[in-house]
Structure 1
Amino acid sequence: MIIQRVVLNSRPGKNGVPVAENFRLEQSTIPDTVQEGQVRVRTLYLSVDPYMRCRMNEDTGSDYLLPWQLSEVADGGGIGVVEESKHNNFAKGDIVTSFNWPWQTVAILDGSLLQKVVPQLVNGRLSYFLGAAGLTGLTALLGIREKGHVTVGANQTMVVSGAAGACGSLAGQIGHLDGCSKVVGIAGTDEKCSILVSEMGFDAAINYKKGNVAQQLRELCPGGVDVYFDNVGGEISDTVISQMNQNSHIILCGQISQYNKDVPYPPPLPPDTEKYRKKETSQERFLVLNYMDKQEASVLQLCQWIQEGKLKVRETVVEGLENIGAAFQSMMNGGNIGKQIVLVSK
């Protein structure tokens, strides 16, 4: 069977900014027959995420991320429909998802790598299983619950960096739902800040490209910061950490400002920032894959919030497998709001 797939065409280098040309669309073939335990799936949606920047390097800097290989198909979160199955758990027509879905139009996969999903849980919005009701939503929810130490009625203030991104936009909302009294987002445009406040329920948002971030934080969080959901690292995080209270908590989710730099992960804090952090402030790296025993219950909670309208979801959907490289470039440049999704087929 003839298919289309996207392979890694070149590496941007540890300090380089990825571009669409780092990926290449090509024609390939897969077997016409499915073996026992396998499933043939047609790809519906693919997820594009910041962590993938690390997979473009020969050394990902992480023991849980494997590098993409040159001229080999890339992979990540995906969702599709079963066309043929020789696995007992799946039948033709089932909607399935996987964290390791190849970037190709049709694939034959080991059934043990797939999970069946129920479209009704997300009101038929299948792409949500890659975002708000998928790994992104789990990262936000479990990050806050496992590392944020949010307590209802404790009058806690949360700050979220990268707040208009896929994870940040959910984390701020979940912070409120779990009991934070105030949530402040940090984003890169006035439009993003406006959407965070008017649509997603943030109490305030700071455009870090305008004005003095430290001063704005002091004005918006006069009682200091109790919980910091860190998606970006770098100077913005140094500024937030300097205003954190004693016994506060940093949820180290991502460091997107550092992904195009040859630095350790997580990168070391400058001495002045480390001095502030030592005010009995916890800074713990969060990896959602360590909490997958809580996946099922957490996904159901996310889906319930979506159905009730308590969790607002933003997606940027790009059509066509051939445009996935451009979608990745746009995401890394901060050009979208919410989750970046590629629609491969309907």
Structure 2
Amino acid sequence: MVIAKKYVLAKHFEGEPKRSDLPIVEEELPPLKDGEYLIQAEYLSVDPYMRVYAQRYPVGITMIGIQVGKIIESKHKDFPVGKHVVATVGWRSHTIINGNAGLSSLRIPDYILPDLGSLPVSLGVGVLGMPGNTAYFGLIELCQPKAGETLVVSGAAGGVGSHVGQIGKILGMKVIGIAGSDAKCKWLKEELGFDYAINYKTQDVAVALKEAAPNKVDCYFDNVGGEISSIVMNHMNLFGRVSACGSISSYNADVKALPKCSIVQPAVVFSQLKVEGFIVNRWADRWMEGIEKNLQWLKENKLKYRETVTEGFENMFDAFVEMMRGDNVGKAVIKV
């Protein structure tokens, strides 16, 4: 008999999530049926999208999310005991998965993690998982980056933003990151190779951006939305491309009380910008392409990563709130 722990969405979030919104409950799992396998969570991910996506689901669901789990029992020949699986099963300690069920509700396939050699399996929820593919496909497919162009990344010290900027450097771009502390900016420049980093909390972003990009901006990878994005879009070149990945600056805010931002339509029209939003499951049929490319760059030492690791399944809620506040550097990960 296996007793699973899970976080249940007891109440839709209002403002910053509260602990009472996501209580931990237990459930007894049934015996495995043919075609099923049981995983035990080892690493779980907290990501900004969870804050807004959870609002679209009914109260009572297991909180949404992705994890790396180890197969501890199996009745499916393609999912043997001992292998690690990346699965979209939510905030759970143990999960029974039907290996014949196909794609998950997010249309991202559950899959056995490739052999990572000496790399940690936690990367399956980071650089070698959904955040890594978000960076890879969101930049490559939507921005169509070219060597010599200037790329700006907001939320640049997060799991996705730090990855995007490094891909830009691999491709020969000038990269400018926008982050929320001097320590983060130092990390972006000194360790990840960004050309410039702007601390939006202490610098005038418009002034700093003009200094860093006197020839304006060609590509913008937008993780934050709000006034920062308005400033960047008003400093873009003709036919600039914007990949709209997220809007974390407003996720915890009361929509009715949000401040007005500078109007961006004149910049979009007169600079003939291409602005496109995306959800990474658009490339579910090419999922392993992104993972394999990012793994290649890691092995070639062209790509670096950092994880902010929280120990303990019971501390996952705190890690979620801290990530939404921007306390993490790199990918926020929970080690069970």
Q: What is the TM-score of this pair, normalised by structure 2? A: 0.92
Q: Work out the CA distance in 1 between the residues paired with 2:195 and 2:12.
A: 40
1: CA distance, partners of 2:284 / 2:94: 27
Per-residue Cα deviation, 1:154-185 (whole angstroms, up to 9, x for no partner): x21000000001100000000111231x1000
Amino acid at match of 1:50: P
Residue 292 of structure 1, CA deviation? 2.1
| Counterparts of 2:49 and 2:219, CA distance in 1 | 23
The residue aligned with 2:265 is 274
Please identify, of 290-299 and 237-246, the stretch whose mean Cα deviation from structure 2 is larger. Answer: 290-299
Alignment of 1:292 with 2:284, yes or no, is yes
1:42, distance to aligned residue in structure 2 (A): 1.0
Kept in 2: contact 1:76–1:103 (CA 8 A)? yes
Cα distance in 2, alignment partners of residues 294 and 104 from structure 1: 27
**Contact 1:119 1:125 survives alignment (8 Å):** no
**Residue identity matched to 1:161:** S
- Structure 1 residue 165 corresponds to structure 2 residue 158: yes
Moved more, 79-88 or 247-256: 79-88
Q: Which residue of 1 aligns with 2:13?
A: 12
Structure 2: give runs of 5+ residues left out of the alignment.
103-109
| Inter-partner Cα distance in structure 2 for 1:198 and 1:19 | 36
The aligned residue for residue 93 of structure 2 is 105
Tell me if the contact between 1:97 and 1:115 (Cα under 8 Å) persists in the aligned partners: yes
How much has 1:8 moved relative to structure 2?
2.0
Is residue 41–residue 106 contact of structure 1 (8 Å, CA) maintained in 2? yes
The answer as to whether partners of 2:54 and 2:64 remain within 8 angstroms in 1 is no
| CA displacement at 1:294 relative to structure 2 | 2.2
Shift of 1:291: 1.4
Report SS of the residue matched to 1:201: coil
Match for 1:237 among 229, 235, 238? 229
* Alpha-carbon separation, structure 2, partners of 1:19 and 1:157: 40
Q: Which residue of 1 aligns with 2:107?
A: none
Paired residue for 2:62, among 73, 87, 94?
A: 73
1:186 aligns with: 178
2:282 partner letter: N
Count of residue correspondences: 325
Native 8 Å contact 2:230 2:262 kept in 1? no
Match of 1:63 in 2: none
Distance in 2 of aligned mates of 1:146 and 1:309: 23
Q: How does 1:200-279 map to 2 (within 5 A)?
A: 200-261=192-253, 263=255, 272-278=263-269, 279=271
Deviations 1:72-112 (A, max 9, x none): 422311111111111231111111111x2232222111114
Question: Are the equivalent residues in 2 in contact too, given 1:7–1:23 (CA < 8 A)?
Answer: yes
CA distance in 1, matches of 2:18, 2:305: 27
Q: Is the 8 A contact 1:241 1:273 kept in 2?
A: yes
Following superposition of structure 1 onto structure 2, how do residues 28-177 of structure 1 map, counting pairs within 5 Å? 28-31=27-30, 33-57=31-55, 60=56, 67=57, 69-70=59-60, 72-98=61-87, 100-112=88-100, 114-120=110-116, 123-152=118-147, 155-177=148-170
Q: Please report the RMSD computed on the Cα atoms of aligned residues, expressed in angstroms.
A: 1.9
Contact 1:97–1:117 (CA under 8 A) maintained in structure 2: yes
CA contact (8 A) 1:119 1:126 kept: no
Q: How far off is 1:270 after superposition? A: 5.2
Q: Please state whether the residue corresponding to 2:263 is helix, strand or coil.
A: helix
Gaps of 5+ in 1: 61-66
Matched letter for residue 186 of structure 1: I
**One-letter amino acid of the structure 1 residue matched with residue 22 of structure 2:** F
Partner of 1:64: none
Matched residue type, 2:114: V
Corresponding residue for residue 195 of structure 1: 187
> Percentage identity across aligned positions?
39
Give distance in 1, aligned partners of 2:58 and 2:70.
25
Letter in 2 for 1:142: F
Matches of 1:94 and 1:218, distance apart in 2: 50
CA separation of 1:293/1:203 partners in 2, compared to 1, >3 Å: closer, same or farther? same
Distance 1:297 1:214 in 2: 37
Q: Distance in 1 between matches of 2:314 and 2:295?
A: 31
1:296 to 1:56, Cα distance in 2 relative to 1, 3 A: closer
**Kept after mapping to 2: 8 A contact 1:133/1:302:** yes
Alpha-carbon distance in structure 1 between the residues aligned to 2:192 and 2:59: 38
In the alignment, is the contact (CA less than 8 A) between 2:66 and 2:91 conserved in 1?
no
Task: Assess, with a 3 A threshold, how the Cα gap between structure 1 residues 338 and 201 changes in structure 2: closer, same or farther.
Answer: same
* 3-state SS, counterpart of residue 66 of structure 2: strand
SS of the aligned residue for 2:142 comes to helix
Q: Distance in 1 between matches of 2:211 and 2:28?
A: 59
